[in-house]
Amino acid sequence: MKKCVLSLVALVFAMLLLLPGCAAPASATAGQPVQSDPFSVQVKMTDQQDGKIMVRTATPVFSGFSAAAELNEKIANLSQEGIAQMKEETKDLGETAGADSLYYSSFFDYSRSGDLLSVWVSSANYTGGAHGMHWMNSFTVNTKTGKFYSTPSALFQEEESGTKWITAQISKKISEQKDVYFPEAQKTLTDKNGKYSFYLDGDTMVVYFDLYELQPYAAGIPTFEFPAKELAENGVPLKEKLTNTQRRGAVRLNGEDISLKHPVVSNDDGVFLPLEETVALLGKSVEVQQDNYFVNGQPAQVEMVDGVAYAPLTFFTQTLGELVFYDDSALRIFPKTPNFVPMGVGGGSADSSKIPATSSKKNAMLIFSGPNISRFSNAAAV
């Protein structure tokens, strides 16, 4: 009788293990704790005068995978080499007007999808002349194997077929819009021989070219996007499945997507940010005295939009001296406040509406909800 009872108990326990939600945890089965994702990224910021050059950079420092140190070195070298080159190019400017406006800036974005990590660094400088320059560098690495991919071809199951297909698509777009590309754009494409610069944004491969390679300066950096699903449907699938289908959002805090309750505004007068939300993210406070706005004692000239106070981007970058970047596609904010806690480990996010407008935002969690860029035409100045 005792054996029968024990057998019945064992049978019931075994059946419970087969039911959804009733299985034993992995740590109990394997005898070891479940491993957490060791991937992390911190932000190293520079905001200082280097000789005649104003340097403002936000650089990622990755850890938690074998190739992290090599990747960090590659990214750090970009600024070091860029500034050194600037010094050489501007050493003979003397006391000309341009000598007082020299700058070098850079910021980063990154995306993880499965074992693949893509980082793209956007840099800009002014060395004198009619306008500054801006460019991109990118790195894609397998965090499991430590392998770097310098061209898109290495990511295709059939490298030659994949490269030919994306080349044909780029060529087609150039042909369809001849009026916006240089006459020699097709030759430039051919001469690349498939050695394109690229990065992965979610599940999309983005191929890009430098300024002046395919189009005039005013057109910006040309990009061509190829979703993994589209590649597979056209017979040129990638070797690895891109599990992250979320593209980068329009507002980012320390490299992580966030949502603003009130959108960024861009019009012919410039770029405007919601004052109280942005100030909260920067770890500062807003005071209102008789309809006048002050941030840490600094007066802010605001525009009222639907009852919400907006301040120009230059207020945050020049008056407050914060590292805030905007490039028509997204807003990036890198707070310099010492007690600011960096967002998430490898994909954390935050909702700025949950953060009070004070200097303390520890353990804040943010969630990106969609594009946060809009336009307005008739803002009333206060």
CATH code of residue 191: 3.90.640.20
Shared domain check, 368 and 327: yes
pLDDT of 33 above 70: no
Residue 378 — very low, low, confident or very high, per pLDDT cuts 50/70/90?
very low
Q: Is residue 214 within 8 Å of 189, Cβ to Cβ?
A: yes
The pLDDT of residue 6 is above 50:
no
| Residue at 9 is within a domain | no
Domain boundary among 206, 233, 260: 233
Residue 79 lies in a domain: yes
CA angle 234–239–245, rounded 5-degree value: 75
Residues spanned by the domain of 268: 251-381
Q: Are residues 209 and 268 in the same domain?
A: no
The string over 214-227, giving b where at least 16 C-beta atoms fall within 10 Å of a residue's C-beta and e elsewhere, is bbeeeeebbebebb
In degrees to the nearest 10, what's the CA dihedral of 234, 138, 372, 321?
-170
In a domain? residue 245: no
Q: Do 296 and 353 lie in a common domain? A: yes
Q: What is the CB-side half-sphere exposure of residue 331 using CA atoms within 13 A?
A: 28
Instruction: Give me the CATH number covering residue 67.
Output: 3.30.565.40
Q: Which residue has the tokens 């499965």?
A: 114
Kindly report, residue by residue over 198-238, the tens digit of the pLDDT.
Answer: 999 999 999 999 999 999 999 999 999 999 999 999 999 99
pLDDT for 336 equals 86
Number of domains in the chain: 3
Regarding whether 257 and 186 lie in a shared domain, the answer is: no
365 with 267, same domain?
Answer: yes
Least confident of 11-15, 54-58, 198-202: 11-15
pTM as predicted: 0.78
Give the confidence band of 101 by pLDDT, cuts at 50, 70, 90: confident
Whether residues 377 and 255 share a domain: the answer is yes
Find the mean pLDDT for residues 342-346.
36
Higher pLDDT among residues 207 and 361, named by residue: 207
- How do residues 253-282 score in pLDDT, each as one tens digit? 998 999 999 999 988 889 999 999 999 999
